[in-house]
A and B are shown apart, each in its own frame.
Chain A
Amino acid sequence: MIEFLLNNERVSLEECDSGISVQQYLRQQHRLTGTKEGCAAGDCGACTIVLGEITTNDNAIAYRSVNSCITLVANLHGKQVLTVEHLAKGNQLHPVQQALVDHHGSQCGFCTPGIVMSMFSLYHTDIQPSREAVNKALSGNLCRCTGYRPIIDATTEVCENRQPDQFNAAEQQTLAILKEIRHKHVDVFANRVHLPDSRQAMAILLAANPSARLVGGSTDLALEATQQLKTLPVLISTQRMQDCRQITISDDTISVGAALPLSYIEAVLVEHFPALHELIERFASLPIRNQATLGGNVANASPIGDMPPVLLALNACIEADNGTTTRIIPASEFFTGYRQTQLIQGEWIKAIHFPRLSPNTHLRAYKVSKRHEDDISAVCAVFAVTIENDVITAIASGFGGVAATPVSCNELAIQLMGKSWQDEHVRKRGQHILMAAFNPIDDVRASASYRKQVLGNLWQRFWFETQSDLLVSTRVPHYA
């Protein structure tokens, strides 16, 4: 059984016979038909709802937008669920709704409920949002009618004029209920999704259900049900595994819990590795990052995932746990084949450890895709080059979209170590090495030849951007 708040109504749920997703559950069981289905794949945002959760300091509620179409009902446990129907107070629209009306921000109206919920989430987090912050908040919401301008204006204006709303007024009450739920015993939902909260429980479940699959935010796994019509096996959720949700910062390492959604770890990663800012913000969309975990992205081992190249270039390590012992696997050894990893039966990822960068290391992370926002990389390239007195002393790299696994290019180090970073030859040589390094494929996103050419050119971009005395504009304005 799971328990959650639907707006301010407490719901205990034993079973769910309306499909696997929160979107289906809300529409069918509660007739909350404001939450729309546009794609059932987390790509359009028409189904966006907001989940309220107790913040890490335990004294407030954080409101985060998620795609209800790929959120498992089990994941609602201990949270407050808000849909577009919950925002108005009687006949009085919520300020974000009124702003959208005033700015003529709805045309066909089908994306509108999702837009409203993303606006609501931003309304509760940012009172002076920049255009970039507005774009980020709405990055998971497609609108085919308006061209977004009125939506951007409405969002900016309403956040700047924020007044406390009924959710602020009820915050302490909501907090008390969610804390109460948190202390309740929960083990399994609908006989299908286990929710262990300790290493021991996790180990026992994995041993007892050898065909079970681990699930974090379900943003990838849910597609097997909604798109491929597969019946999902027994699932074991990592969401209540507290020791997989820690962030530890030591003198030499930044350690990030594998079960933490990406948006929860963005700040710490960007603080220590500012060059990751763009790549993280372009990782899917905010609602996806509010669900999808770092551990999930790494364990999936997709060749087009954006975090594995980062791990490779930063020489990160994966800490695997089996309930009894943990072991450390270097990222360079972790990915063994197409969607294959070193993890063995009974293991899960506890944390990812990132060594701190030396002050002499230049890091850049690049993503090239057809669309800037919420697109899958045609090529992802992360470079970390250490330069001492203009001499290259180390080169690490990670790439996505160019091979069957996330990969590094060791040839760069072999051929260029010891050379002067300012040497034009290093730029040209690196380009040629990378163009020949991999055999990417032609697919719907890009041709093999484009991927090769871009890979070489991203090295050139990296070189230009890290020359101390060469000020050349290298980026189109986005995130630059």
Chain B
Amino acid sequence: MRKLIDQPQHQTSDSPLLKSSKHESAVRQVAGNARYVDDIPVPANIAYACVGITQVASGTLSALDLTAVKHAPGVIDVITIDDIPGHTDIGPVFEGDPILLDGEIKFHGQPVFAVLAGTEEQARYAATLATMDIAPASAILTVDQALAVNSTVRPPHAFGQGDAGAALEQAPVTAQGHLSIGGQEHLYLEGQVSLALPEEEDRVMIYTSSQHPSEVQKLVAEVLGVKLHKVTVDMRRMGGGFGGKESQAAQWACLAAVFAMRQRRAVKMRLPRALDMQVTGKRHPFENSYNIGFDSEGNMLGAEITVNGNCGNSPDLSDAIVDRAMFHVDNAYQLGATAITGNRLKTHMVSHTAFRGFGGPQGMIMAELMMDVIARRTGLDPLTVRMQNLYSEAKGLTTPYGMTLEQNILPELISQLANSSQYWQRREEVIAFNRHSPIIKKGLALTPVKFGISFTAKHLNQAGALIHLYTDGSIQVNHGGTEMGQGLHTKIGQIVAHEFGVELDNIEVTATRTDKVPNTSPTAASSGTDLNGKAAQNACLTLKARLAALFADTYQVSADAVTFANGYVSAGEHAVAFADVIQQAYMARISLSATGYYRTPKIFYDREKGSGRPFFYFANGAAVSEVSVDTLTGEYTVDAVDILHDVGTSLNPAIDRGQIEGGFIQGMGWVTTEDLRWDNNGKLISNNLATYKIPAVGDTPAHFNVALFDRPNNEDSIYHSKAVGEPPFMLAISVWCAIKDAVASLADYQQDPDIAVPATPERVLEAITALTENQDA
């Protein structure tokens, strides 16, 4: 088929593409009538489900007395794993996630039974009334404990280039260290929620807040013991996902479905916040170590890096998450000879899961730690060390996993940002300020991001779309991606409007539904627009070819000369309004509906060899952060942030900026105040918003500059744009480095302060105390 349009630079004047179109739901959101699952009008026979959970992290349930639960006010039904009609394991990739407790207790807060009652309050209250006889066992709650007994959810993986051991032996300077990296609660503002409606016989309809409707469909079918075609999942929008609704939205949909089919009534399951925080997985905590060699000029020669992911009690998505951590320990730097190992440790904790960056941040921060260590050891500025170790022709463009960088833009991007942010001038100002300020110390850091784009599970890199053209010229688009606020539907709408040359208000992107586009991938890995945008474009191309053929036939012109722009279909002197062409096509019995499909080219990874091209391309960016630290309390503020980020050709600059700013602030929360705490029994004690603090409005830096790096993607991505969901999250590593820089000033920048993530005020003060005590000694 001929290629119609793939030239975003030559957009027509009224194409919405590359413009800052408003989020397609913005007006409804601000007016309060954007509908979320809990807002859907429900049938009169609705009932509500909740789960009862364990109060120990490890052991065996010997007896479960549900009498009080059953007799509580309003209770309709109570189920345990024995009542599940079909498959009882809902692990997304590997087995290991029983839908309800199956004898062995796997973590504190594990759902044991589910209860259905007339109101939400009744269900939640009844869920607290069970009596459990438990033989407790000792729990593995840390990475160290898990390593000691080789407790893993999956086998380790390793890769590298050259002989790292020899490189370290020969290196003039070596350094070793360890970093504790905390997890992160997703804190989507809309908690987990599903609504199940029984339909005829064994058919069921599910409304859910999920990034992965196809997986919900599959798991609901399996749990019910029916085939997939009996289950339909509808997902209009999520009130935030961030990875927390990729695999872990399914359990609640499955339980609601089981009750719905048992009781033949509508069932809603909505987790109250504290329960949501206890029963769903988080970003993986990691305990990582490095052993590096470099020369006295600060050039990396070799690195041995081990990343240890705390996966919790089951594999969930952890294999791919630890892989991605490993794929990012180099970040933007040529490390020399490398040996990278990734362990996937099993602990008695909730099963940690996807979260924006998907292990990437926990790997990438190691690269930035190593750069800081080299800077302090050599006396060079950290930016100097970073720039001279960047991937380059001279240093080599091959990553530790054997992929060659084809579009290496960071050297230029960082230079541009260093200039525009006046990094070097500010460095001098910071040093001067610190010299005269005994209590408040400033810190400055510029860190880059190079993030690989594609699912590392190759089969997920495919997408489908379905487009209907109606006889008034309006267009419905459905695709496999889900809308969680990131503006995916807006971008898809822009793509389709651009392809047909019509205005955006002709396009309606409808709820994601498993009965429209089947077997979809999760909306994850930043891939939503890359995959679904191409699929939607391909559906457009199919339809345009049909319309062009008709037009060519009608007006005796070449089909190749037919264009779609400004609301018209044109060729030569012939121009017909788009809606009229659709009507003509209808009358001429041309199909006005088409599917589109896309799979990402070029990618492969040989796990045996630890080598390949797991990523279609890299998205890049860099940030400069400036902070002030109070050395009496460890409190700090992020005063100024300048970001330059690479989104290729921006399909929607406003939405891309929103992803960059929002990702950065979320990353800032991860490295600063978001402090997950479990007690010695494995109970999450930061289990509400009073004890778990995400950034608030006052945490947004007073100076917050975001610019887009102007460079199309070299690869044939949708209009040469680049994915933007996850990469900006890691720009916030600059905040952590800037805090360390401020603290390092107390010891004349001779040592890299040891500050775990998140760098809470308490940890910062601890580092300050350690550094100043060392000095005194």
Report which A residues bind B (CB closer than 8 A). Answer: 19, 31-41, 43-44, 46, 83-85, 87-88, 93, 97-98, 100-102, 104, 106-113, 116, 131, 134-135, 138-139, 141-152, 227, 229, 368, 370-376, 378, 443-447, 450, 453-454, 457-458, 460-461, 464, 472-478
- List which B1-60 residues lie within 8 A (CB) of chain A: 20, 22-23, 25-36, 38-39, 41
Residues of B within 8 A of A147 (CB): 661-666, 695, 700, 704
Q: Secondary structure of the A side of the interface?
A: loop
B629-A476 in contact (CB<8A)? yes
- List which B680-701 residues lie within 8 A (CB) of chain A: 685-686, 688-691, 693-700
A87 to B38 Cα, complex, angstroms? 22
Q: Is B74 an interface residue (CB 8 A)?
A: no
A129 → B minimal CB distance (Å)? 12
Interface string of B644-666 (1 = CB under 8 A from A): 00000000001101100111111
Residues of A within 8 A of B686 (CB): 444
> Known contacts A43-B688, A148-B700: does B440 contact A475 (CB below 8 Å)?
yes
A91 to B430 Cα, complex, angstroms? 52
Residues of B within 8 A of A104 (CB): 20, 22-23, 26, 654-655, 657-658
Interchain pairs with CB closer than 8 A, number: 252
A34-B273 in contact (CB<8A)? no
A106-B29 in contact (CB<8A)? yes
* Among B292-300, B571-579, B605-613, B759-767, the stretch in contact with A: B759-767
B32-A108 in contact (CB<8A)? no
> Known contacts A139-B697, A372-B698: does B439 contact A35 (CB below 8 Å)?
no
Residue of A40, A144, A229, A443 near B666 (CB, 8 A) is A144
- List which B212-254 residues lie within 8 A (CB) of chain A: 237-242
A113-B32 in contact (CB<8A)? yes
Query: What are 12 A-B pairs at a CB distance below 8 A?
Result: A36-B36, A104-B23, A104-B655, A109-B239, A113-B30, A229-B125, A371-B695, A372-B696, A453-B769, A472-B438, A475-B630, A476-B628
A473-B437 in contact (CB<8A)? yes
Residues of A within 8 A of B685 (CB): 443-444
B190-A450 in contact (CB<8A)? no
B119 → A minimal CB distance (Å)? 8
B27-A93 in contact (CB<8A)? yes
- Add 5 more A-B contacts to A109-B25, A109-B34, A474-B630 (CB < 8 A): A38-B190, A109-B29, A131-B702, A144-B189, A147-B662
A372 to B690 Cα, complex, angstroms? 13
Q: Is B182 an interface residue (CB 8 A)?
A: no
A475 → B minimal CB distance (Å)? 7
B189-A111 in contact (CB<8A)? yes
Least CB separation from B188: chain A residue: A144
Residues of A within 8 A of B485 (CB): 106-109, 145
Q: Is B408 an interface residue (CB 8 A)?
A: no
A139 to B699 Cα, complex, angstroms? 10
A231 → B minimal CB distance (Å)? 9
A227 to B484 Cα, complex, angstroms? 27
B77 → A minimal CB distance (Å)? 20
* Among B101-109, B549-557, B634-642, B713-721, the stretch in contact with A: B634-642
Residues of B within 8 A of A472 (CB): 437-439
> Known contacts A111-B189, A229-B128, A454-B765: does B273 contact A38 (CB below 8 Å)?
yes
A39-B32 in contact (CB<8A)? no
Residues of B within 8 A of A453 (CB): 765, 769
Q: Is B272 an interface residue (CB 8 A)?
A: yes
> Known contacts A145-B662, A371-B699, A473-B437: does B691 contact A444 (CB below 8 Å)?
yes
Residues of A within 8 A of B240 (CB): 108, 110, 144-145
Least CB separation from B684: chain A residue: A444
A142-B689 in contact (CB<8A)? yes
> Known contacts A85-B33, A104-B20, A112-B30: does B694 contact A144 (CB below 8 Å)?
yes
Q: Is B403 an interface residue (CB 8 A)?
A: no
A149-B700 in contact (CB<8A)? yes
B188 → A minimal CB distance (Å)? 6
Least CB separation from B437: chain A residue: A473
Least CB separation from A223: chain B residue: B690
Least CB separation from A83: chain B residue: B32
> Known contacts A85-B32, A108-B239, A376-B690: does B677 contact A444 (CB below 8 Å)?
yes
Least CB separation from A281: chain B residue: B698
Residues of A within 8 A of B614 (CB): none
Interface string of B702-743 (1 = CB under 8 A from A): 101000000000000000000000000000000000000000
A144 to B484 Cα, complex, angstroms? 11
A101-B696 in contact (CB<8A)? no
A167 to B38 Cα, complex, angstroms? 30
Residue of B31, B121, B486 near A19 (CB, 8 A) is B121
Quick one: which of A145, A444, A453 has the most chain B CB within 10 A? A145
A368 to B695 Cα, complex, angstroms? 16
Q: Is B476 an interface residue (CB 8 A)?
A: no
Q: Is B316 an interface residue (CB 8 A)?
A: no
A336 → B minimal CB distance (Å)? 25
B439-A464 in contact (CB<8A)? yes
Query: What are the nearest 9 A-B pairs in CB distance?
Result: A34-B32, A108-B485, A110-B239, A109-B29, A147-B665, A84-B32, A43-B689, A107-B485, A147-B661
Quick one: which of B639, B690, B691, B765 has the most chain A CB within 10 A? B690
A13 to B438 Cα, complex, angstroms? 61
A374 to B632 Cα, complex, angstroms? 22
Q: Is B124 an interface residue (CB 8 A)?
A: yes
Q: Is B304 an interface residue (CB 8 A)?
A: no
Q: Is B487 an interface residue (CB 8 A)?
A: yes
Q: Is B187 an interface residue (CB 8 A)?
A: yes
B478 → A minimal CB distance (Å)? 20
A373 to B699 Cα, complex, angstroms? 8
Least CB separation from A38: chain B residue: B189
A370-B760 in contact (CB<8A)? yes
> Known contacts A33-B38, A106-B29, A135-B698: does B439 contact A473 (CB below 8 Å)?
yes
B32-A476 in contact (CB<8A)? no
A138 to B699 Cα, complex, angstroms? 12
Least CB separation from A461: chain B residue: B632
A148 to B41 Cα, complex, angstroms? 31
A454 to B125 Cα, complex, angstroms? 41
A376 to B702 Cα, complex, angstroms? 23
Q: Is B274 an interface residue (CB 8 A)?
A: yes
B31-A34 in contact (CB<8A)? yes
Least CB separation from B763: chain A residue: A450
B662-A450 in contact (CB<8A)? no
Quick one: which of B29, B655, B661 has the most chain A CB within 10 A? B29
Least CB separation from B189: chain A residue: A110
Residues of B within 8 A of A372 (CB): 635, 637, 696, 698-699
